[in-house]
Amino acid sequence: MGRPMAHNLASAGFQVLGWNRTPAKAPPGVAEKRSIEEVARDCQVVATMLADDAAVESAAHVLYEHLPRGATHLGMSTISIALARRLAFEHAARGQRYVAAPVFGRPEAAEKKLLWIVTGGETDGLATIFDALGKVSLSLAEPWQASLVKLTGNFVILSLIESLGEALALVEKGGIDPREVMRFIGSTFLDAPAVRGYGGRIADTELEPAGFALVLGLKDVNLMLKAADELRSPLPLAGIARDHFLAALARGRENWDWGGLASAIRESAGLSPVRRG
């Protein structure tokens, strides 16, 4: 996700410096730096798009020390609400600003500048950055609230994947082609891009390559459940989906799309994880 986003910022005329844990990944127009320190010293806005809490917190410790006073850490990753609170506190204590801006959209949406962005915190001066990436669809007062909405949105998508996985396995066991059923569902009472996209891939059992990997889906569902614990709001469906993630990952499917949790549903129904023929 970070690579097309950085490319779009450079294409919009921003001077973009980049760092990646794997060298030589910078897109055209982005000056690759050897360390986060180099990026932080030379930028007024540093955006992070990293895989998990550990990676974001590791980068943040460098930003605390090297980001100038008055500069902004723009957090665009999917992280826990606890970490979002911590980042806001630590940056404020150093005269810096933390703004959460997690995004919705698969990599192809990032390439086309069609990301939906949820912001949390004071966003003065950031509108042109957001415009180069997509559209701010919701603005909230606190960074942790934006992180919570991101987890909530992912929970809705996950619930859709879980429901479609169960429903399509059921009709296949009844001798009905799930692809026909999915075309019906996606063109009538659930006519929406996410339904057609995820449902189509599940019906076709086309679960590779990953737009969003199974292992990252497990990470997100664990963050959802942590948020539910903290806010005392049950998410029983998230627990069911977590078990299906674990079952699929136990069979070595780390690089499958997170829609691949449907493979575990299929197996529990006595079907092959991927349809043959």
- Identify the CATH number of the domain in which residue 238 sits: 1.10.1040.10
pLDDT digits (tens, 9 = 90+) for 6-20: 999 999 999 999 999
Specify the pLDDT at position 186: 97
Residues 210 and 119 in one domain: no
Which one of 141, 161, 182 terminates a domain?
141
Specify the pLDDT at position 96: 98
- Locate 7 and state its tokens: 């490319």
Residues 129 and 243 in one domain: no
Determine which one of 33, 113, 150, 226 is catalytic.
150
Instruction: List the CATH number of the domain containing 31.
Output: 3.40.50.720
Exposure b/e, 20-36, CB count within 10 A at least 16 = b:
beeeeebbebbebbeeb
From residue 148, give the alpha-carbon distance in Å to each of 122, 231, 273: 17, 10, 32
Whether 86 maps to a domain, the answer reads yes
State the 10-residue block means of pLDDT for the chain, 277 residues long.
Answer: 95 96 89 95 96 97 97 98 98 98 94 97 98 98 98 98 98 98 98 95 95 95 98 98 98 96 98 88
H and E: helices and strands count for the chain: 12, 8
Residues 165 and 216 in one domain: yes
Whether 273 maps to a domain, the answer reads no
Which one of 122, 141, 160 terminates a domain?
141
CA dist., res. 12 & res. 52, Å (int): 28
CA dist., res. 250 & res. 223, Å (int): 20
CA dist., res. 40 & res. 169, Å (int): 50
Residues 155 and 64 in one domain: no
Which one of 112, 141, 170 terminates a domain?
141
In one-letter notation, the amino acid at residue 42 is D
* Residue 138 contacts residue 165 (beta carbons within 8 Å): no
- Backbone phi, psi, residue 204, to 5°: -80, -10
Residues 95 and 154 in one domain: no
Owning domain of residue 71: 2-141
Specify the pLDDT at position 24: 85
pTM equals: 0.95
C-alpha 64: how far from chain center: 24
Residues 135 and 24 in one domain: yes
pLDDT digits (tens, 9 = 90+) for 218-271: 999 999 999 999 999 999 999 999 999 999 999 999 999 999 999 999 999 999
Residues 168 and 191 in one domain: yes
150 is catalytic: yes
* Residue 171 contacts residue 181 (beta carbons within 8 Å): yes
Total count of domains within the chain: 2
Specify the pLDDT at position 277: 62
CA dist., res. 78 & res. 54, Å (int): 12
Instruction: Give the residue from 52, 46, 42 showing the smallest Cα distance to 213.
Output: 52
Whether 131 maps to a domain, the answer reads yes
Residues 79 and 177 in one domain: no
Specify the pLDDT at position 23: 86
Whether 276 maps to a domain, the answer reads no
Residues 135 and 36 in one domain: yes
Whether 85 maps to a domain, the answer reads yes
Residues 193 and 247 in one domain: yes
